[in-house]
Amino acid sequence: MFFSGWDHLIRILVVGVLAYVVLVLFLRISGKRTLAKMNAFDLVVTVSLGSTLATVVLARDVALAEGALAFATLIGLQFAVTWTSVRARWVRHLVTGEPLMLWYGGEFLPVALRQARVVEDEVRAAIRSAGVESLDRVRAVVLETDGSFSVVQVGEGDNESSLVGVNVPKAVFKPGK
């Protein structure tokens, strides 16, 4: 139960080091985007790579070559999906979703809050986390595709808004605000 022999420990050490090297090599080849936690899809890939690494290291019936192929498959699929999502908007929306406006122009957007399964207290917490004390200073709060909140403060100027492309349920949008 506590010790099953030196050969198992040596296998774990050797395969662990080699699997780690293979994974790091594949990640360097595939680029920084592979492990970017930008949305749920990226998180799934990251968790899958970790699970695969653990399986390769600990499961005696999984060879290092099989693990390397599993790494390459996951990273290759991640690359293919992200490459396609950059070029096809419908793929991007399918994989990442859209950001959702939860607060705009001094008001909570109840339809959006229900759709996102977020309560007003969570939006207020996001505003506090952004270092904003007064709600009057907040133009919008957006639930991003990675699950984080963005707080957009009231600004000045005629530049293009950072809110372009944010999904606002039509039932709650009030033009002119």
Strands in 149-153's sheet, in edge-to-edge order, are 107-108, 100-104, 138-143, 149-153
Question: What stretches of the chain adopt beta strand conformation (E)?
Answer: 100-104, 107-108, 138-143, 149-153
Task: Name the 3-class secondary structure at 107.
Answer: strand
Cβ atoms of residues 127 and 168 within 8 Å: no
Beta-carbon contacts of residue 157 (< 8 Å; ≥ 6 apart):
none
pLDDT value at residue 37: 64
Rounded Cα distance between 120 and 49, Å, is 36
- Residues β-bridged to residue 142: 101, 150
Q: What is the mean pLDDT of each run of 10 residues along the chain (177 residues)?
A: 84 92 88 70 86 93 94 91 90 85 92 93 94 91 89 75 73 49
pLDDT value at residue 175: 46
pLDDT value at residue 35: 66
> What pTM, to 2 d.p., does this model score?
0.68
Rounded Cα distance between 85 and 35, Å, is 16
pLDDT value at residue 171: 55
Rounded Cα distance between 64 and 57, Å, is 8
